[in-house]
Every structure is written in C-alpha cells, then in structure tokens.
Amino acid sequence: MGVAAEQAGEIGPPVKKGPLVKRQSAWTRATHWAWAISLFFLLVSGLQIFNAHPRLYIGQQSGFEFDNSVLSIGAVRKPDGSVGGVTTLMGQQFDTTGVLGYSGPPGREQVRAFPSWITMPSYQDLATGRVVHFFFGWILVTTMLIWFVASLLNGHLRRDIVPTGADMRKLPGDIADHARFQFRHGRHYNALQKLSYGMVLLILCPLMVLTGLTMSPGMDAAWPWLVDVFGGRQTARTIHFGVMVLLVLFFIVHVAMVVLSGPFNNLRSMITGKYRIDPEDRA
C-alpha cells in the first residue's frame, strides 16, 4: 500500500508524514487485549468480593477486638436522620454518600461499599464474584507468562520495556514534552512509556498475582514464604487492593495518553501492529 493513498484518507492540510513501521508483534497485540478484557473483569468482580467485607487491615488477622484497620467503608445514620456512606482511611473519616457505603438510585439506595454499577454481578453475590475473578485470574496469569516468554525471545522486553541508561538521561526531556502535550512518535517507546509499562508488567501485575495467592490458605501451605514476604494475609489483601488502585490510575493515564497522542495511530498499532512515526524519526 502506497503512502500517498494512505495520506488521502487523512483529514487536514497535507503535512509531511513519516512512514508506517511495524511496531507491535502479534504476541504483544494479542496479550494486550487479553489483559484489557481480563483486568476489567478482575476489577469489577474484585470489588464485588471486597464488598463482602469492606475493611482492610495490616497484619496476619483482622482486628475485631483491637484496631489494625487502615480502610473501612460503611453506612451510618446521620444526626439529621438520613443515612450516609462513610469511608475511613487511616483514621480519617470522609462522607462518601452516593458512591461508597450507601448508594443507588433515589428511593432504592442500598448499604453497600462499592456501588452496584461497578460490581459484577451488580447485586451482592460473593460466590459469583469469585467465579468471575478466578476465571479471569487464570487468563491473566496465562497470558502474562506467554507474553513474558515471547518478549524475552523476540527482544520486546530488552528493546522496549527495560529502560536503559540512555532512556534515563532522556527522562527529564520526556517529562517536559509530556507536560506540554508534545509527543514524539518514534519506532520505540520513550523513557516514560518504558518506565510505566515496565512498572505495570514487571512489578504491579506480578505483585497482584502474588498477593492474591497469599490470600489462599492452600497456597500459604504450599508456599509458606508468601505470608512472610507480604507480612501477613491481611497485609497481602491490603496490598492487593492498593495495587488495584494504582492499576486503575495507570489505566486512566494510559487511555488519556492514547487519546492525546493520536488515538487512530495508537489503536492501529495495537490492532494491526503498524504505527506511523514522525518523519525525522525515520530509523
């Protein structure tokens, strides 16, 4: 396919365009979308599971007669007689009526930690939440392993994920460019991309899987070091929740960057593998 023909389909004044290059391997593309789907279902089923006991602790056990709680979400009767949602984070109380603790359409509000529009199923059903969570947990772990082996063999990991010394030297410039919403479109990831993808794929996702396994009494007997590494089953559960928050933040920034830096080009590279780079970046 000719560059000229491709240009005719673009909107706006004719500008000098760089070439289409192959950027993403089929392994990366397939696993990317498998993760997008499974992380979505893991999030919403995970919030369903959390709602069964919406309280997080530090240590081996949950303090019922002592206080080792770091987060709790609940409902209270307010002085004016109405019911409200209260979220307590590190001893600090926040009124979260309508979102956390007490939510729902007017007249049909419910006492529930996370609101029904973000849990799966929408109604309280721990058993089903677990079915969905573990099914997609297996898909996530399997596709992570496939991606890791493929990326090790095809050089994606070394070339695109693990930052080099040169990347780190370019980091301040990269941050300044991103802050001004000026994006370079090179064949390879920039330093911020490498750092954020590396953080998610090599640190946060493995941490998510391991803290998840630490909540399993079977796995704790098989691999007793799990409990020691994370400082207790309840601490592991708290870390599992914290990493979820970080992954949601990553998702928001990731989608914002995709939109700001050329959604068509970015989506194309994750579907067909082809990416149009800047003319001066012809490498």
Partner 1 sequence: MTRFSMRRRKFLTATAAGVAGTTLAGCDVFDPLLRPGHPVRDAMAGANALTEAAQRLLLDDNALAREFSASEIRQGMRPNGSTDPTDIDYLIAKQNDFAFYRLEVGGLVESPASYSLEELRNMPARTQITRHDCVEGWSCIAKWTGVPLAAILDEVKPRDSARYCVFHCFDTYGGAGLYYESIDMIDARHPQTILAYGMNDAALPVRNGAPLRVRIERQLGYKMAKYIRRIELVDDFSRLYRGKGSFWADLGYDWYAGI
Tell me the C-alpha distance between 246 and 258, whole Å: 18
Residues forming beta bridges with residue 92, ordered by sequence position: 89
121 touches partner 1 (CB under 8 A):
yes
Which one among 26, 63, 252, 279 touches partner 1, defined by CB under 8 A?
A: 63
Tell me the C-alpha distance between 84 and 97, whole Å: 5
Q: What's the closest the beta carbon of residue 181 comes to partner 1, in angstroms? A: 20
215 touches partner 1 (CB under 8 A):
yes
131 touches partner 1 (CB under 8 A):
yes
130 touches partner 1 (CB under 8 A):
yes
Tell me the C-alpha distance between 163 and 168, whole Å: 7
Q: What's the closest the beta carbon of residue 82 comes to partner 1, in angstroms? A: 24
Which one among 27, 135, 148, 251 touches partner 1, defined by CB under 8 A?
A: 135
Q: Are 173 and 182 in contact (CB under 8 A)?
A: no
Which is closer to partner 1, CB of 151 or CB of 234? Answer: 234
Which one among 220, 242, 246, 261 touches partner 1, defined by CB under 8 A?
A: 220
199 touches partner 1 (CB under 8 A):
no
CA dihedral 168, 160, 21, 140 (to 10 degrees): -140
Q: Helix or strand or coil: residue 45?
A: helix
One-letter amino acid at 13 equals: P
Which one among 25, 72, 124, 128 touches partner 1, defined by CB under 8 A?
A: 128
Interactions with partner 1, residue window 226-265 (CB under 8 A): 227, 233-234, 237, 263-264
What tokens does 96 get?
């979260």
Sheet holding 55-57, edge to edge: 55-57, 69-77, 83-89, 92-95
94 touches partner 1 (CB under 8 A):
no
150: CB partners within 8 A, 6+ apart: 25, 27, 28, 31, 156
Which is closer to partner 1, CB of 81 or CB of 106? Answer: 106
Which one among 26, 61, 152, 168 touches partner 1, defined by CB under 8 A?
A: 61
Could you tell me which of 157, 221, 171, 222 has the C-alpha nearest to residue 27?
A: 157
End-to-end CA distance of the chain: 20
Which is closer to partner 1, CB of 89 or CB of 221? Answer: 221
Residues that bind partner 1 (CB under 8 A): 1-2, 5-6, 8-9, 44, 49-50, 52-53, 55, 57, 60-66, 116-123, 125-128, 130-132, 134-135, 137-138, 213, 215-224, 227, 233-234, 237, 263-264, 267-268, 271
